[in-house]
Amino acid sequence: MAVSKISAPSGEIPVRGPFDLAAAAKFLTGFAPAGRPEADTEPGALRVAFPVDGAWTPVGAVLRQRSPGVVEVEVHAPEEHTEAVLAQVTRMCSLDVDATGFPEAGGRDPVVSMLQGLHPGLRPVLFASPYEAACWAVLSHRIWMSQAVRLRRGLTERHGVQVDVDGARLWSFPAPGELAKLEYLPGAPVQKLHRLRAIAGAAAEGLLDAATLRAMPADDALKQLQLLPGVGRFSAELILIRGAGHPDVFPRGESRLHEIMREAYHLPDAGVAELTEIAEAWAPFRSWTSFLFRVEGEARMRESR
């Protein structure tokens, strides 16, 4: 099913601090959980489709950066959702955070300075919502990435909606109301279906609201998220950092990040406590810096294959 194309007046997002939309689009193309294997046909533009927060209507947007200080957004949604779409894409690109102080983290840590130099203007690119991040956490739990990607694609194509975004048809992830009725997904065990329905219920009740989660002390938000079925520390951090967009949480449950840090700092025996202490110098951008470590680590892994 496709949604008819509806263009609302464009909006603008002010950019505070370094940001490169092209770098964000390039990352998203290679980010398997996003389900976007192909690059955007318009260089420098980013097209996205997603259920808008709260209302869960399928919507789309095109982002273009005409100057370093402004990102223009062309909204494809019913007019009543224009402001919500603008707010959501602002969060998705981490543009709701003033990043003028981010370079200072590099000034305190030469390893971070190197990462910032290798990836200029790259900020964390988020899931469309904590709800989508939580669903990915459930789908990807204890299986290979390639399997999880197939599950997500099948789920989206069976229960999602295609949105015409300025001539490009993009799949919008299923709304919570659709997942709440989910009874079968090829390749997914029954336990994952139960957990997906629970996530859908939590989202419908407002328990996965990004602003609420970010307003809470991080430890409290992580504890609340771990009350959801199948959500442990690692998944809770994913939802809070890459779903709600909290800029200053060090992922204590992300073992791959810890491996990358041990190699970067030449500390092969460093435990999580020591790595957490190193990350104190990155505040108030510990999530962002962790993201750069992961991006560079994954890039080097691909080069070594």
pLDDT at 7 (0 to 100): 52
Burial of 178 (0-12, 13-18, 19+ CB in 10 A): middle
What is the spatial order of strands in the sheet that 168-172 belongs to? 2-3, 161-165, 168-172
The tens-digit pLDDT sequence of the chain (305 residues) is 444 455 545 899 999 999 999 999 999 887 767 666 554 668 889 999 999 999 999 999 999 998 999 999 999 999 999 999 999 999 999 999 999 999 999 999 999 999 999 999 999 999 999 999 999 999 999 889 999 999 999 999 999 999 999 889 999 999 999 999 999 999 999 999 999 999 999 999 999 999 999 999 999 999 999 999 999 999 999 999 999 999 999 999 999 999 999 999 999 999 999 999 999 999 999 999 999 999 999 888 777 76
Looking at residue 3, what is its pLDDT? Answer: 47
Q: Which residues pair with 262 in a beta bridge?
A: none
- CA neighbours within 13 Å on the CB side: how many for 149? 11
Chain-centroid distance of CA 116 in Å reads: 19
- What is the rounded distance in angstroms from the CA atom of residue 269 to the CA atom of residue 250? 19
Count of CB atoms situated within 10 Å of the CB of 220: 10
Three-class DSSP category at 50: strand
Backbone angles phi, psi at 303, to 5 degrees: -65, -30
The pair of three-digit structure tokens given for residue 195, joined into one six-digit string: 């957990």
67: β partners: 70
Enter the pTM of the model: 0.93
Domains of the chain: 2-100 (3.30.310.20)
Helix axes 145-159, 130-140, angle to 10 degrees: 130
Alpha-carbon distance of 234 to 253, in angstroms, equals: 5
Strand partners for 35? none
Scan for tokens 């971070």, then name that residue: 112
Residue 76: the pLDDT is 94
Task: Please list, residue by residue across 79-103, b when 16 or more beta carbons sit within 10 angstroms of its beta carbon and e when fewer do.
Answer: eebbebbbbbbbbbbbbbbebeebe
For residue 64, the SS3 value is strand
DSSP string, 106-144: HHH-HHHHHHHHHSTT--PPPPSSHHHHHHHHHHHTTS-
User: For residue 33, what is the DSSP state?
Assistant: G
